[in-house]
Amino acid sequence: MEGAEAGVREGDAVAGDLLALGYEGFPGTVALGLSCPDFRAVCARLAAELATLGALKREEGTEVLSASDGPGAEQEFLRQLAGLLQELHCPDRALCGGDGATALQEPSACLRLLRFLCTELQAARLLCLHPPLDPSQAALPPSGKEAEEGAGMVQELILTFQALGMAKPTLGTPASRLLWELHAKISELLPSLPSGSLQPLLSYSLDAPRWEALESLCQSLRVQYCCRRCLLLKRLDLTTSAFHWSDRAEAQGEAMKAVLIPIRERLTPESDISIAHVLAARADLSRLVPATSKAARQGTCCAINKVLMGNVPDRGGRPNELEAPMPSWQSRREDGSWRKAGRQCWGRKKKKK
C-alpha cells in the first residue's frame, strides 16, 4: 500500500516537472513502459531538446531517440537510450546496465528515467540563460574599474599578510590557498590574546528581521557619515579659498590650483561603509574614549605640539576695558524752551502703579 502511494507521488512529481518544462499530455503510470508510444514520444522530445541546447553532441538532423511505432521500435529505442544515458553520465545503474529492457518494465524505473531527463533539461536551459565564461576571455586581464578594484583587494590582502607577520603571497596562488593560510595563522594567534579580546559587537545570530534592522543601521551610518564628510569638505573649500585672498596668491594661484584640485576631486561625500564593516565591528568600538585622554594622545601626539607661538600684536576687542560714552549737552532751543547748561539730559522714569 505504501509502495503504491509512493509511486503515485513520484508520478505526480514527474508530471509537474513535465508541465513546468512545457510538456503536456503526460501519460498515466498505468501506460508507462516501452510498449507505450506516448512514453517513448516524451523521452524522444526531451532528448531532442537536449541536443538542440547543446547538451548532446549530435550532427544536425540526426535523431537522438526514435519514437516510431513499428516492428523493432522498442529495440531501436533501447539501443539509442543506452548511448544517451552513457553520454549524459546517468548515475542510475539499473537504467545504464546491460539489461535495460527488463528494468524499464517496472513503472518506477520509467519514472526515474523521466525524472533524470527532466533535470538534465532544466540544467541545460539554465546554462543557456547563463553561459559559462569563454576561456579565451577569462585569460584577458581586467581593465578600467574592475582592474582598480582588483588591485585594491590585492593590496589589502598584502597588508593583511604583513600585519600578521607572514610572507608576501606569490603571484598565481589560488585564493582558497591564501584564505586557508590566513585562517591557520589567525587561529594560531588567537590564544595568545587576552581573554575577552576581539569580541564581536553583534553577538546574536541574525534572522530575517535582524538582517533588516542591520541594513537599516548600515543605511543610517551611511547618511551620518555623508553628512559629516560634506561638512568637512565645505570647511576645506572655505579654508583653501581663503588662501587666494592674499596678494601673493595672485602670482601663485595657478600653481596652488594645480596641487589642490586633483586632491579635492578624489574627496567625495559618499561613504564606503557597508554591512561587512558593521559585522566586523568589535565590542570595544562602543566605548567612548576622550580625545584628550592619555591613551588617545599616544596616537595623536607629534612634534608640532611642542611648537610655541611668539608674541602677537594686541588687537583689543575686550568690552570690559572700554570707557563709558560722555553725556550729551544741550543749549537753549529756538522755540523758547531751554535747559540749564551743564545738566545731563536724562529722561524721567514714570512711577510704577
What global pTM score does this model have?
0.39
**DSSP H/E element including 255:** helix 248-265
Q: What is the pLDDT along the chain (353 residues), one digit of tens a residue?
A: 556 676 677 777 888 888 888 877 665 544 567 777 788 888 888 888 888 888 787 666 667 787 777 777 778 888 888 888 888 888 887 777 766 667 777 778 888 888 888 888 888 888 887 665 554 444 444 555 556 656 767 777 888 888 888 888 777 778 788 888 888 888 888 888 877 777 888 877 788 888 888 889 888 888 998 999 999 999 999 988 888 887 777 778 888 888 888 998 888 888 877 888 878 888 877 677 777 777 777 777 888 888 887 787 777 778 777 777 777 776 666 665 555 444 545 545 555 54
Q: In Å, how far are 38, 268, 329 from 27, measured between CA atoms?
A: 7, 65, 121
Rg (CA), the chain: 42
Indicate the length of the chain as a whole number. 353
295: Cβ contacts below 8 Å, ≥ 6 apart: 289
Cα–Cα distance between 188 and 191 in angstroms, integer?
Answer: 7
Q: What angle do CA 147, 149, 151 make, to 5 degrees?
A: 65
Distance CA 58, CA 36 (A): 26
